[in-house]
Amino acid sequence: MEKNFKLNNNITIPSIGFGTWQTPLGQTAIDTIKSAVKAGYRHIDAAAIYKNEKSVGTGIKECGLERKDLFITSKVWNTERGYETTLKAFKKTLHDLQLDYLDLYLIHWPANAQQFTNWKAINSETWSAMEKLHKEGKVRSIGVSNFLPHHLEALLETATIKPAVNQIEYHPGFMQNDCVQFCKSHNILIEGWSPLGRGEVLKNEILIEMGRTYNKSVAQLCIRWALQNQVLPLPKSVTPQRITENFEVFDFEITASDMKIINDMDHPKGGAGLNPDTVTF
Ligand code: A2P
């Protein structure tokens, strides 16, 4: 298993990203980023709406690595959709993260038809701003998050640059097969948020039993399973021992028959299960 994936623009992306959603700002976020880098993570997944970008940025600054050795992602929040507002939001994110470029910038959620009759135009305008940021060299790659196939199809009608990534909820029992297949057929890498089903999947008996046969935790099983499905997992933790544990997944392989068992699992309790067509935020 490689420690990197290749994006459709030939840029290399470390195959496990470190999630920062719900990481408390201040010293916790700073220490958490440092622990993650120490454990081996080189890819940090941030977002303006997580409200902790300043602390994440301080953690990055103090982690001891050179900027070029890290892969940093952020996302434009829903209230900032549109051309000028996206450019402005990007400026604030870059300032908060204390960086002079991003490796990846994503549209956090698509404008949906339930909230906006002109949802296609809104997403297209936001995307134009993303393309501008890329052309100016401020962002090495651009992509989307929580886009379903019909959101992507509409975006591709006007896009001049294809999204490199679509970041969606992905964990055992919630594989979003239609979306994953659509993205694979367009060479758009899937990143999986909440790969542990927000912690709930870890209580699943089948996975606990299976983990024992590999001498691995359920968290490690979930992360490795995503990787073997060519999905880039973004586990989040503020606990140093778990941060380390979640990166120790390159020394075992899930067999094809166990992959099938996990792939065929029903939705276990847990996970957000949000539908981008009906969310109201
Ligand atoms: P914490 O941050 O307190 O360590 P997801 O990435 O699916 O959204 O899941 C994140 C949740 O899972 C957080 O509550 C996190 O808790 C918990 N978590 C992360 N890694 C592990 C692990 N290896 N074992 C148990 N719980 C974990």
Quick: pLDDT tens for 150-172.
999 999 999 999 999 999 999 99
Tell me the pLDDT tens digit for each residue of 190-210: 999 999 988 789 999 999 999
Tell me, in angstroms, the distance from the centre of ligand 1 to residue 199's CA. 5
- Give the per-residue pLDDT at 125: 98
Atom of ligand 1 nearest to the CA of 217: 23
Residue 34: which pLDDT band, with cuts at 50, 70 and 90?
very high
Cα-to-centroid distance, 100 and ligand 1 (Å): 30
Does the beta carbon of 236 lie inside 6 Å of ligand 1? yes
Ligand 1 atom 22: the closest Cα is on which residue?
242
User: Which regions of the chain does DSSP assign to beta strands (E)?
Assistant: 4-6, 12-14, 18-19, 43-45, 71-76, 102-107, 139-145, 165-169, 189-193, 232-234
CA of 188 to the centre of ligand 1 (A): 27
* pLDDT band, very low/low/confident/very high, at 270 (cuts 50, 70, 90): low
| 69-113 pLDDT tens trace | 999 999 999 999 999 999 999 999 999 999 999 999 999 999 999
Candidate from 171, 242, 274 with most ligand 1 atoms within 8 A of CB, to mutate: 242
**Within a 10 A sphere around the Cβ of 161, how many other Cβ atoms?**
16
Which ranges of 104-239 would DSSP assign to H, the alpha helix?
119-135, 149-158, 177-185, 205-214, 218-228
Nearest CA to ligand 1 atom 9: 198
Atom of ligand 1 nearest to the CA of 220: 23
How many whole angstroms separate alpha carbon 44 and alpha carbon 232? 12
Residues labelled catalytic? 50
How far does the centroid of ligand 1 lie from the alpha carbon of residue 236, in Å?
Answer: 6
Pick the atom of ligand 1 nearest to 235's CA: 6
Confirm if 226 and 193 have CB atoms less than 8 A apart: no
Residue 267 has what pLDDT?
A: 73
pLDDT score at 279: 93
User: Is the model's pLDDT at 22 over the cut of 70?
Assistant: yes
Mutate which of 216, 238, 239, 249 for ligand 1 pocket (most atoms within 8 A of beta carbon):
239
Which of 236, 243, 246, 274 to probe ligand 1 with, by most ligand atoms within 8 A of CB?
236
Nearest to 168 by CA among 159, 179, 153: 179
Q: Could you tell me which residues come within 8 angstroms of residue 242 by beta carbon, excluding any fewer than 6 positions away?
A: 219
Phi, psi angles (nearest 5°) of residue 279:
-65, 150
